[in-house]
Amino acid sequence: MNYDLKIIKKKYGENMAKLCSKLFTSILEVDKLLPSLLLDHFYPNHYLYNDIINNNLVGEFKNYIYSLVDVEKMERVDIGLTPKELLLEAGYILYECKTEDDIKQFKKYYHPKEVLCTFNSNRLKECYVFFAVKKDVDKIKREDFKNPNRQDRYGTSVISIQFTKDGTNTLSIKNRYNHRVNNPDATFSNNLDNIIPGLTKAFEREYDLIQKYVTNKFEIPNYVYIKGKYYKYNLEENNIYYCPGNIIIDNNQIKKYDKEKYIVMDYFILDLVKKRINVYDKYLYDSFIDTIEDIKKIEVVNELNDKRISIIPTKGEVISIILDKQNNIIGYTNNNIYNIKQNFLINNITLRTLNVSRVKKISDNCLMNNLYLENLYVPKLEVIGNFFLLVNKELKNLNLPEVKIIGKCFLAYNEKLEYINVPNLISLGQFDFLKNKHNLLENEDIVHELEKKL
């Protein structure tokens, strides 16, 4: 891995470095250019690779990065000859591969440990493939080159010229040494005119293989473009973006909070120095902060996959908050509260575990937008307000032995609930209750009891 890729690995992760190595062989020919482009346009995070892959944006991302270096504006010489004629002047015979068998004919030119992956895949689905072979290739022996260099006579004696079929016609000129040398997929710096002047224009004219890059702004879900740079965000509320890394973007202002003093989690700020928790947006009310009062001490432990925050109150048991790597709240335990007021974690999406063993009442709009809650422990709960867990998708088993009242739209859009125990239920909101209860249908007794209460 060259120095530029090591920088990308450090700032964006190993998978991102591997992707860049594959996509940007030409740009990597210029020292420090690629990491500079990324750092100038993407605030560092180790989630960018997954976000690109999961949203099927590899082509768009490649297109965007190449557009930043004005590849199209490079001057091209036009000699007026065909690619075959020009390459013949450069000492090569050009072959166009139209079938996979055509490609395999060139495998004989490669040392067994230096064979291109081109021969192992259905490359013609992805690329237009050509091979250029030196006229005196039989006189150029591998054993004569004990210290390979990408541009030496052996490395350039057989080259594969490939253009992607993704609409951009991105060029890769592949070396005979393959990965024995640095950046083997950018032989001649991926510039056909470095083989012989006029060759780029010749390929454009003969095969309509014009290297082109659209310069439209790149768009990726859960990223906001501020002051020339993309920032990943966890949540957006009232045009305020809450980002990993203790960053809040408000009114186009980027606010970075000292990690030694604060933790930005969901749309809350935990002040480690003053020992208090607040909602950042004064127009947003969330009763979560009311469940944490009179903090005596805060302990933070970073683990492999999450961050555990232990809050020791002046009275009562330790309160536990678990965050994922992006500082989303995924777990909450609090055995000091008996009543959860309205709008508790109303805009939280990621909470997976809620343990509030002494709570007897949950008011309206609590966890209304949560998607991923899987474990709910509320053994003493008696009253549930409206819109509780309205859009949750993941909850499978629900034991509410003391619940007497459930408001409207309870678990309206849940798709996985298989079991629910509500033996003391006497009042049930009718509107959209368990709207998608198809998994419960396998337990006819439960469904029958619930329907009697509607």
Query: How far apart are the C-alpha atoms of 267 and 330, rounded to whole Å?
Result: 13
Count of CB atoms within 10 A of residue 301's CB? 9
Both tokens assigned to 24: 């940007």
pLDDT above 70: residue 285? yes
Q: At residue 339, what are phi and psi to the nearest 5 degrees?
A: -140, 125
Which pLDDT band holds residue 443 (cuts at 50, 70, 90)?
low
Which pLDDT band holds residue 231 (cuts at 50, 70, 90)?
very high
Q: What is the pLDDT of residues 307-327, one digit of tens each?
A: 999 999 999 999 999 999 999
Query: How far apart are the C-alpha atoms of 105 and 117, rounded to whole Å?
Result: 14
| pLDDT at site 418 | 84
The residues that bridge with 160 in the sheet, in sequence order, are 131, 174
Q: What is the pLDDT of residues 63-76, one digit of tens each?
A: 889 888 865 455 56
Q: What is the pLDDT of residues 324-375, one digit of tens each?
A: 999 999 999 999 999 999 999 999 999 999 999 999 999 999 999 999 999 9
Q: What is the pLDDT of residues 102-126, one digit of tens each?
A: 999 999 999 988 999 899 878 999 9
Single pTM value for the model: 0.76
Q: What is the pLDDT of residues 25-47, one digit of tens each?
A: 889 988 899 999 999 999 999 99
pLDDT above 90: residue 11? yes
**Residue (of 136, 183, 160) closest to 25 by Cα position:** 183
pLDDT above 80: residue 55? yes
Query: How far apart are the C-alpha atoms of 343 and 388, rounded to whole Å?
Result: 10
Comparing 430 with 92, the larger pLDDT belongs to 92
